[in-house]
Amino acid sequence: MPREKPFCLLAMSAGWRVLLLWVCVCLWFPAQPQGALVISRRDARKQEAKENVDTRSIKKRSTKSADLVEVYSVRVVCTVTSRFAHTVMTSKALNKANISQEIFFEMELPKTAFIANFSMEIDGQEYVGEVKEKEKAKKQYEKAVSSGQTAGLVKASGRKMEMFSVSVNIAAESNVTFILTYEELLQRKLGQYEILIRVKPKQPVQEFQIVADIYEPQGIAFVNAFGTFLNNELLPLVEKTVTDTKAHISFSPTLEQQRKCAGCEGTMIDGDFIIKYDVKREESMGEVQIVNGYFVHFFAPPDLPRVPKNVVFVIDKSGSMHGKKILQTREAMAAILKDLHEQDHFALIPFNDRIVTWKDSLTKAIKENVSEAVAYVKELKNAGGTNINDAILKAVTMLKKDREDKKLPERSVDMIILLTDGMPNNGVSDLPTIQKNVRSAIGGKMSMFCLGFGNDVDYSFLDVICKQNKGLARKIYEASDASVQLQGFYEEVSSPLLLEVHLRYLNNTVDFLTKSHYSHLFNGSEIVVAGQLSSNDKDNFQVEVFAHGPDEDFRVQGKVRVANWDVIYPQQEYIFGVFTERLWAYLTIQQLLENSDIGTLQEKNKTAAKALDMSLRYSFVTPLTSMVVIKPETGQDRSGSTFIADKLTEDQRQEQERRADSSAHAAHSQSDVDGDPHFLIELPDREAALCFNINDKPGTIFNLVRDPKSGFVVNGQIIGKKEVVPDGNIKTYFGRFGITHQKLGVRLEVSTRDISVFNNGKQVKLLWSDTASLKETNMDLKLAKNCSLTVTLRHSVKFMVIRHTKVWKRRHDQQDYLGFYTLDSHHLSASVHGLLGQFYHGVEFELIDLLEVQGKLDATMYVKGQTLHVTRHRQKDFSRDVKNGENIFCWFVNNNGTGLMDGEASDYIVSDLFKTV
């Protein structure tokens, strides 16, 4: 492609937008988003928090401070031993300054994991964490805060992660090493295990390494490794070695390979590194591992037929399910109904303050019935209150009656799936009473699954009601992929293989057994039981498994083959150490915590006490414990510190998410258009932007931004390339912009030749060869010669128009064209729209199935209820560097952005450059 050379004599800064960024983060100096090692100097922060601080001086000081602290090592080492993952994250930094500086450490870990250790090493002195009862740790925390010391924080980070952060004051020319260790039992879902490692170093690191070793004596069926941040250059650096029982995965880019571009300070390492794998399954009794007097039994026999299910979908259609919620529910339900097997029976109960049934009894899932049901759910409309109690009881009654009337297969499972987004406010509204009513009605004869949509629902209420009735609850996040989340949950529970599964260990050979009776075994899942051996007789370890299948009872009994670790892994010996004991402890604590909110007050207290005792004994940070690290005052360093690592409860996570939702409007995307014409949407906290092109004939005018409340409108007219290529493809660009703000009385017409400004009856005409600055009551305008026009409209919007000249030296040809960049849009209303405007308040999307194809990274994107095929591209963003631009990774949406934008590109065509409607 011919190199673009814009004629530009002055590189304008991003002005107000840069100032806004630095003022926001001056208390965490220099600026670093979450998940990074962040460096701060305590004595500089007070000065830099002053109002009206000069942007250039901030940038100068922050760069100097950052240069004085070197983060030179980030290592993540994960060892998986029979599904039990032990992960160690290590970061090292050096304070090169001649004064002390404060270093912030932030790491993200899966919310299902328990922190097992946190330690710091400062100039050879190690400070190791100690797990204490949460109430005792809280007193130390409060004492530390009151004395001005720093303390650690744990907060929710997305759907699957939690963030742990601490800060410590480091003396001049000193080193610090942070080590965080966490452990978790990997859960098998949809036929695979997942290891999720989130890395956000935010700067290139001299030594960066991710290493994972997987040991599975049962045999490894497959291993896949990928990263959300991996591009075509980084993908080949993922090394994978797989033998029958071991897999080794590593990723170690050099300092230069990490950079976004040669000489850039930014790093491409920003996102999730994911490993998925499964094991071979041949034994019907499952796999047993025995090490150091503890055993673990994994049960998921292959090739089992599915059990028919009778499922009643109880669907909230109250007033709060408005907008996207009801649309996504319709979409998800249509897909779920189509996925039913012909042997299944189903019913639909949409409810608000009234309980409605699609049919009076369950219906067999034959094609005709499913089609009729799909048409029915597509017409669901939201209105009214929320009567959860009567809706669930109606579902129970339907299942019971059809059982009594022998309309359902004898060997089948009865299920209720409830979807709701709010609290009951009609009929019975007392939560414990609803739980009691449902438990009494079900009587242990059916399973209940709950989906809590958004943050207004009381998730703990749903969680308890499902646990009491042989089911589970799942939170559905309000996002563009909500329908995918709903379908994903259903897929997990849609294919029961065995019912009422009992696992027994004969001859009194085990003690302290974890849960050994399960209501279901679903396809793609796994049952795990662990315990302590009363004798170490591996050769006579006998297992019996009994369950109900679709046609007959499932029963297996006998001695199980126990893997000899010394033979399978002769080199490793006891890197495995006491993994079976810690796996048993992890599983025991998890199950105790799950049951700690069920039963009488006395039963709850007894269960919580057991979980606390186990957490302390095995040094796990759970919702009942905290880890305390104390750095005393030493020598010249008088800044002693106390650090606290906590574990969030689900209620605490939900409360944090509610607070985040309430302030979400503060984070806005940047939407730009430039080139021929390339649309670029950069989103906060996403590694890659979104992009698409629009092609149309020259002269076409598109609406880019339209805010009906303020009357701010931007329209752009396409121009064609001077020389038409013989193949018939016409290169097009934006050549004119019409910009109007009705309330402020401002109108601008910007072409590649000149700029006309109309402001409250006054008119000014400027040439691109001018350098100009206009300051009015409602408008601030700056023109950089042959380069850029930056306009701030008071309490409304800030944007930049850039004039480019593209040169083809061989053809002795050039093309002038314009780019439009939105620098600040947060004052615009929620109803702002247009090709760019619709993205000002962000867009939710999810990427899956990342795959390298012919040197390009492809993925599947779920956005606005659509499934799109996207490819990773690079686009130029000139908003920060007007002369050279900055390469931005983006996920490219084909077909003129169809599926990403609302409607189609042709819907945004207008008849006039200043058309306002």
Three-state secondary structure of 220-286 = EEEEEEEECCCCCCCHHHEEEEECCCEEEEEECCCHHHHECCCCCCCECCCEEEEEEEEECCCCCCC
Give the pLDDT confidence score for residue 508 in this predicted structure: 66
* Kind of pairing between the strands at 309-316 and 345-351: parallel
Strand order in the sheet with 101-110: 37-40, 101-110, 161-170, 153-157
Amino acid (1-letter code) at residue 664: A
Residue 670 has pLDDT above 70, yes or no: yes
Residue linked to tokens 């004898």: 410
- The torsion angles phi and psi of 463, rounded to 5 degrees, stand at -60, -45
SS3 content of the chain, % helix, strand, coil (to 5): 20, 40, 40
Q: Higher confidence at residue 134 or residue 311?
A: 311
At 810 the pLDDT is 66
Q: What is the mean pLDDT of residues 241-269?
A: 90
Distance CA 378, CA 791 (A): 46
pLDDT at residue 708 tops 60? yes
Radius of gyration of the chain (CA): 31
pLDDT at residue 840 in the model: 85
* Residue 265, token pair as written in the block: 């300070």
Sheet holding 553-559, edge to edge: 517-522, 496-505, 542-548, 553-559
pLDDT of residue 863: 80
Report the distance separating Cα 754 and Cα 766, nearest Å. Answer: 6
513 pLDDT more than 50: yes
Cα-based distances in Å from 465 to 38, 429, 595: 43, 14, 12
Q: How confident is the model at residue 20 (pLDDT cuts 50, 70, 90)?
A: very low
CA distances from 86 to 37, 182, 183, 202, 577 (A): 22, 6, 5, 25, 12
pLDDT of residue 879: 85
Residue-wise pLDDT tens digits, 770-800: 888 888 878 889 999 888 999 999 878 999 9
**Alpha helices (H) along 346-409:** 367-377, 388-404
Q: In which region does residue 470 sit, left (phi positive, over 0), alpha (psi from -120 to 50) or beta (all else)?
A: left
Cα end-to-end span (Å), the chain: 39
- pLDDT tens by residue, 854-892: 778 888 888 876 788 999 888 888 888 888 888 888 999
pLDDT band at 189 (very low <50, low <70, confident <90, very high): very high
Q: What is the pLDDT of residue 576?
A: 54
pLDDT at 11: 33
pLDDT at 274: 95
- pLDDT on residue 595: 86
Q: CB-based contacts of 195: which residues, under 8 Å, 6+ apart?
A: 78, 80, 85, 186, 212, 274, 275, 276
Identify the band that residue 160 occupies on the pLDDT scale cut at 50, 70 and 90. Answer: confident
Positive or negative torsion for Cα 628, 632, 637, 638? positive
Q: Is it the case that residue 30 has pLDDT exceeding 50?
A: no
pLDDT range class, residue 63, cuts 50, 70, 90: very low
pLDDT of the residue at 688: 78
pLDDT at 841: 78
Element holding 774 (H helix, E strand): strand 772-775
Mean pLDDT comparison of 186-195, 630-639, 786-795, highest-scoring range: 186-195
Lowest mean pLDDT among 226-240, 315-329, 663-677: 663-677
Which residue type does 719 have? I
Grouping H, G, I as helix, E, B as strand and the rest as coil, residue 464 is helix
Q: What is the structure's pLDDT at 882?
A: 85
Q: How many CB atoms lie within 10 A of CB 301?
A: 18
Distance (Å, whole) CA 554 – CA 576: 34
Q: How much is the average pLDDT of 80-86? A: 93
For residues 261 and 877, is the Cβ–Cβ distance under 8 A? no
Q: How far apart are CA 683 and CA 690, in angstroms?
A: 8
Which range among 240-249, 298-307, 504-513, 702-711 shows the weakest confidence by mean pLDDT? 504-513
- Checking if the pLDDT of 297 tops 90, the result is yes
The answer, yes or no, to whether residue 148 has pLDDT greater than 70, is: no
pTM for this prediction: 0.68
pLDDT of 911 over the 80 cut = yes
Is pLDDT of 461 > 60?
yes
CB 790 within 8 A of CB 782: yes
| Predicted pLDDT of residue 662 | 46
Q: How far is residue 165's CA from residue 306's CA, in Å, rounded to a whole number?
A: 46
Looking at residue 357, its pLDDT comes to: 94
Per-residue pLDDT, 6: 41
pLDDT band at 60 (very low <50, low <70, confident <90, very high): very low
Q: Which residues are bridge partners to 901 per DSSP?
A: 898
Q: Residue 51, Cβ neighbours under 10 Å: how many?
A: 5
Burial 443-461 (b: 16+ CB within 10 A, else e): eeebbbbbbbbbbebbbbb
- Give the residue-averaged pLDDT of 754-780: 89
Contact yes or no for 153/654 (Cβ under 8 A): no
pLDDT at 664 over 60: no
Mean pLDDT in the chain?
A: 82
Which range (81-95, 425-439, 621-635) has the least confidence?
621-635
pLDDT value, residue 543 = 92
* pLDDT computed for residue 901 by the predictor: 87
Q: Is the pLDDT of residue 381 over 60?
A: yes
Asked if residues 222 and 277 have their Cβ atoms less than 8 Å apart, the reply is yes
Number of neighbours of residue 24 by Cβ within 10 angstroms: 11
Q: What is the 3-state secondary structure (H, E, C) of 291-354?
A: ECCEEEEEECCCCCCCCCEEEEEEEECCHHHCCHHHHHHHHHHHHHHHCCCCCCEEEEEEECCC
Cα torsion 760, 763, 769, 770: sign = negative
Write down the pLDDT at residue 438. Answer: 96
Q: For residues 317 and 382, is the Cβ–Cβ distance under 8 A?
A: yes
Average pLDDT over residues 87-105: 86
**Token pair listed for 561:** 């083959």
Largest separation between any pair of C-alpha atoms in the chain: 97
What letter represents residue 305's amino acid?
P
Cβ atoms of residues 337 and 346 within 8 Å? yes
Selection from 217, 49, 875 nearest residue 572 by Cα: 217
CA dist 4 → 379, 465, 788, 808, 876 (Å): 52, 63, 16, 8, 11
**How many other C-beta atoms are found inside a 10 Å radius of the C-beta of residue 666?**
9
At 91, the pLDDT band (50, 70, 90 cuts) reads: very high
> Does position 368 have pLDDT exceeding 70, yes or no?
yes
Q: Is 524 exposed, middle or buried (0-12, 13-18, 19+ CB in 10 A)?
A: middle
Q: What is the mean pLDDT of residues 146-165?
A: 65
Q: How is residue 357 annotated by DSSP?
A: -
For the segment 805-819, what is each residue's pLDDT rounded down to a tens digit? 877 666 666 788 999
376 vs 347: CA distance, rounded Å: 12
What confidence score (pLDDT) does residue 663 get?
47
What percent of the chain is modeled with pLDDT above 90?
42
CA distance 476 to 501: 28
Residue 755, strand partner residues: 750, 766
Residue 107 C-beta-side C-alpha neighbours within 13 Å: 23
Of the listed ranges 113-117, 645-649, 725-729, the least confidently predicted one is 725-729
Residues 210/74, Cβ–Cβ less than 8 Å: no
Give the model's confidence band at 38: pLDDT under 50 very low, under 70 low, under 90 confident, else very high: very low
- Per-residue pLDDT band for 661 (boundaries 50, 70, 90) equals low
Q: Say yes or no to pLDDT of 318 above 70.
A: yes
* pLDDT of res. 443: 94
What count of other Cβ atoms lies within 10 Å of the Cβ of residue 171? 19
The pLDDT value recorded for residue 153 is 56
